[in-house]
A and B are shown apart, each in its own frame.
Chain A
Amino acid sequence: GDSVTQMEGPVTLSEEAFLTINCTYTATGYPSLFWYVQYPGEGLQLLLKATKADDKGSNKGFEATYRKETTSFHLEKGSVQVSDSAVYFCALSHLGGYNKLIFGAGTRLAVHP
């Protein structure tokens, strides 16, 4: 079945450092790919998405490119802030699968001043 694998955390960075969180997927066909962010005690917020190969999703300085050849959707940000500290989830969905989201285990990011 479909699955998503994320790099294990926690990831600890200093403010203004470069961030990469790896995400790879296994899926039939052409899923849509997502990054969601969860701040402590809150629900998930959609960060960005891409719906077809080579699409780049971007938001709030974060970006990720849908790479079908490597089945990857790595999240990057050039300069992180303390306020980016959260748990980041990579996910996929299929329109034919009723769009239910299949999530990775999540990666906790801690940014310190």
Chain B
Amino acid sequence: NAGVMQNPRHLVRRRGQEARLRCSPMKGHSHVYWYRQLPEEGLKFMVYLQKENIIDESGMPKERFSAEFPKEGPSILRIQQVVRGDSAAYFCASSPEASDTQYFGPGTRLTVL
């Protein structure tokens, strides 16, 4: 049973470009969470999605950031017009329904030049 998959593992963007991060949850998991880890800090919650629905986006910046989890395919975290402060590791985690245990992917490390 494959774990949570994220790609790319490393992403370099110039200021003003778009970053698109993908997360494939574990098989049978319909809940996805995105977290951001700034250098030398803990993880901060960004958004929680179920298939085709955003349930809680209270940790997501109001501008430039969006997330989706379509019926088919991976969950996508999209950052438009990236700035240097967006440089961080972005982790997604998945869980089966009605469970409080989340399983993390290896993360995408975004560097904005």
Contact = CB atoms under 8 A, between A and B. Distances in A.
Interface string B39-60: 0011111001000000110010
Nearest to B98: A95
Contacts of A51: 100
Interface in A75-113: 89, 93, 95, 98-106
Interface residues of B, number: 26
Interface string A17-47: 0000000000000001000100000111110
Given A98-B56, A103-B43, A43 B107 contact: yes
A44 B55 contact: no
Contacts, number: 56
Contacts of B41: 105-106
Interface in B81-113: 91, 93, 95, 99-107
Nearest to A46: B101
Give the secondary structure class of B's interface: strand
B69 interface: no
A42 B105 CA distance: 8
Given A43-B106, A43-B107, A101 B101 contact: no
Given A100-B48, A101-B45, A106-B42, A46 B55 contact: no
Interface residues of A, number: 21
Nearest to A103: B42
Given A43-B107, A44-B91, A99 B100 contact: yes
Given A99-B95, A100-B56, A49 B33 contact: no
Given A100-B45, A101-B35, A43 B55 contact: no
Residue among A43, A44, A51, A101 having the largest count of chain B Cβ atoms under 10 Å: A43
B100 A44 contact: no
A102 B48 CA distance: 13
B105 A101 contact: no
A51 B101 CA distance: 11
Interface of A: 32, 36, 42-46, 49, 51, 89, 93, 95, 98-106
